[in-house]
Amino acid sequence: MSGTYLGMPAFPAAAREAVGNATLRGNLRHATHTIRAKRAKAVSEVSDWAELREAGRRIKDHTLRHLDRYLVQLEESVTAAGGVVHWAADADEANDIVTQLVKMTGESEVVKVKSMATQEIGLNEALEAEGIRAYETDLAELIVQLGKDRPSHILVPAIHRNRGEIRDIFAREMSEWGRPAPEGLTDTPAELAEAARLHLREKFLRAKVGISGANFMVAETGTLVVVESEGNGRMCLTLPETLISVVGIEKIVPAWQDLEVFLQTLPRSSTAERMNPYTSTWTGTTDEDGPRNFHLVLLDNGRTDTLADEVGRQALRCIRCSACLNVCPVYERAGGHAYGSVYPGPIGAILSPQLRGTGSEIDASLPYASSLCGACYEVCPVAIDIPEVLVHLRERVVQGGEVTRAGNKVVLRPAKGHAAERAAMRAARWAFLHPGALRTGQRAASRTRRFHPRSLPGPGRAWSGTRELPPVPAEPFRDWWQRTRGGKDGDR
């Protein structure tokens, strides 16, 4: 993944700061609770939700199991329909391909549909470095771009901003990027949306190049699918002469019919609607309707490394609905920025450390950004067992082991920060293997319980900074058992 978020502090440090921000907490709480309740209602409308979820899981698993075959099939069908397929092993390569494609058109600005893949690779920054200006056209992405901010949610990237903040950003920044905000702009959502409409329309109408991602790609037919609400997607997908779509290789579904599952589960899981206002599908190019040139950039960027992990590969089923964010008690309090990635929340906590590896401090800390309550697994429309992967990744962080990085098997060393934890576990293991020593130690602990500190000194300080130390009982369990039951089994 890109260096957009390099230098982010580990999750606990970033989260501590976020939790102290009352406005942020209020914005997040309002948003996540609203959408959580709406989603439950939308899901309850379909009586076969469990079957749809299971079908979605199986389709995705089957696709991943035969990903090589479906990638080749997709390439053939897109090419046959008039598209051009490019392959990008990492972010740099994808950015180079897109930059070259834009330069070939002779244009110096592009309009963009909201896309996680292009955020992941830092495309806007790469284009900017080559003198090409990329305009985000999704309202929330526009708020983030104008505010020189970072997205904090997969679906509603500006969820951390309230209407007053958005008004100020529009009034201050719009003139820098094009049509200024109207005089006397208030903070009503309708007026803000109208300001965005006017600001962006002039860009849509003159744009010659559009850039998008895709929610699904159908191997059988070569069809790409984008789901959205505002119509900015339709603008970018149909008005320009050239369309470039950057899509992760895991977004394939084998057959046209498979869409019937995801077009039922995705909208209900993400925006809690029966159906999102607009879905666009296109298969290559169509004479005199939409772009004349279509390029598809197939992106790896850590996905094949994730595929190589037999527990972690299930993260590649993700259809980016963001339902897991809205139910997560940790996300609700810490907010999306603390995750140091374009993928925040529970799915980000398992996706980022796999796509990027656990080498950095932030990535090594992400598997711990969870209470393992399991709510994310419950709502996931493709049944990704996020808690299972979190625990698996914690094990990897602490113990190291064999992983795949950029297609090569490497042996990971245990992460530095966990020396005390490993030492404690070794000591525990020794004590449990030596009952005499355990008994002596427990008795000593009980007798000195009044003098125990409330927090740990030295390397344990960070651990006890966020937790209460459990009080030691007045008497070890084994002594209590001896005293009350006389060490005898039976007379229950």
Partner 1 sequence: MNSRERILGRVRRALADAPAEETPLSRDYLREHGQRTAAETVDLLAENLADYRALVHRCGDRELADLIMRLLAERGSRTVLVPPGLPPYWLTASDVTQVHDRAASTAHELDRVDSVVTGCAVAIAETGTLVLDGSPDQGRRRITLVPDHHICVVRVPGQVVSSVPQGLERLDPARPLTWISGPSATSDIELDRVEGVHGPRTLEVILVGEN
Among positions 73, 95, 145, 232, the unique one binding partner 1 when judged by CB under 8 A: 232
Among positions 145, 242, 245, 264, the unique one binding partner 1 when judged by CB under 8 A: 264
Confirm or reject binding of residue 24 to partner 1 (CB under 8 A): no
Confirm or reject binding of residue 105 to partner 1 (CB under 8 A): no
CB of 246 to partner 1, least distance (A): 14
The residues in 458-477 that bind partner 1, with binding defined as CB under 8 A, are none
Among positions 15, 18, 28, 55, the unique one binding partner 1 when judged by CB under 8 A: 55
Of 16-24, 101-109, 267-275, 393-401, the window that binds partner 1 (rule: CB under 8 A) is 267-275
What are the structure tokens assigned to 246, written together? 């950057």
52 vs 375 by CB, closer to partner 1: 52
Confirm or reject binding of residue 424 to partner 1 (CB under 8 A): no
Confirm or reject binding of residue 231 to partner 1 (CB under 8 A): yes
100 vs 440 by CB, closer to partner 1: 100
The residues in 171-200 that bind partner 1, with binding defined as CB under 8 A, are 189-190, 192-193, 196-197, 200
What are the structure tokens assigned to 293, written together? 């040139």
Among positions 29, 274, 429, 452, the unique one binding partner 1 when judged by CB under 8 A: 274
The residues in 29-48 that bind partner 1, with binding defined as CB under 8 A, are 30-31, 34-35, 45-48
309 vs 363 by CB, closer to partner 1: 309
In degrees and rounded to multiples of 5, residue 484 shows phi and psi of -90, -30
Going by C-alpha positions, the residue among 136, 167, 171, 129 that lies closest to residue 150 is: 136
Helix (H) or strand (E) holding 295: strand 293-299
- Rounded to whole angstroms, the Cα distance separating 3 from 120 reads 9
Complete DSSP assignment for 204-263 = HHH-SEEEE--SEEETTTTEEEEEESSSHHHHHHHSSSEEEEEEEGGGEES-GGGHHHHH
142 vs 362 by CB, closer to partner 1: 142
Among positions 130, 273, 385, 421, the unique one binding partner 1 when judged by CB under 8 A: 273
- Rounded to whole angstroms, the Cα distance separating 365 from 397 reads 9
- Rounded to whole angstroms, the Cα distance separating 372 from 369 reads 9
**Strand pairing report for 252-253 and 216-218:** parallel
- Rounded to whole angstroms, the Cα distance separating 302 from 304 reads 6
301 vs 442 by CB, closer to partner 1: 301
Helix (H) or strand (E) holding 278: strand 278-283
Confirm or reject binding of residue 259 to partner 1 (CB under 8 A): yes
Among positions 1, 8, 88, 219, the unique one binding partner 1 when judged by CB under 8 A: 88
Say how many C-beta atoms besides its own lie within 10 A of residue 477's C-beta: 9
87 vs 368 by CB, closer to partner 1: 87
Q: Helix 419-433 vs helix 435-447: angle between axes, to the nearest 10 degrees?
A: 110
- Rounded to whole angstroms, the Cα distance separating 69 from 63 reads 9
CB of 411 to partner 1, least distance (A): 16
Confirm or reject binding of residue 261 to partner 1 (CB under 8 A): yes
The amino acid at residue 176 is E
The residues in 275-314 that bind partner 1, with binding defined as CB under 8 A, are 275-283, 286, 288-290, 298, 300, 304-305, 307-308, 310, 313
The residues in 114-153 that bind partner 1, with binding defined as CB under 8 A, are 137-140, 143
Binding mask 361-400 for partner 1 (x = CB under 8 A): ----------------------------------------
- Rounded to whole angstroms, the Cα distance separating 263 from 274 reads 9
Q: How far is CA 256 from CA 247, 280, 283, 343, in A?
A: 18, 14, 12, 28
CB of 298 to partner 1, least distance (A): 7
CB of 24 to partner 1, least distance (A): 13
- Rounded to whole angstroms, the Cα distance separating 379 from 376 reads 6
Q: How far is CA 353 from CA 16, 123, 170, in A?
A: 20, 20, 35
Of 27-35, 381-389, 423-431, 436-444, the window that binds partner 1 (rule: CB under 8 A) is 27-35
96 vs 479 by CB, closer to partner 1: 96
- Rounded to whole angstroms, the Cα distance separating 112 from 177 reads 14
Number of residues that bind partner 1 (CB under 8 A): 92
Among positions 16, 25, 103, 201, the unique one binding partner 1 when judged by CB under 8 A: 201
Helix (H) or strand (E) holding 451: none
217 vs 390 by CB, closer to partner 1: 217
CB of 188 to partner 1, least distance (A): 9
Among positions 6, 40, 72, 129, the unique one binding partner 1 when judged by CB under 8 A: 72
Confirm or reject binding of residue 266 to partner 1 (CB under 8 A): no
Helix (H) or strand (E) holding 144: helix 139-146
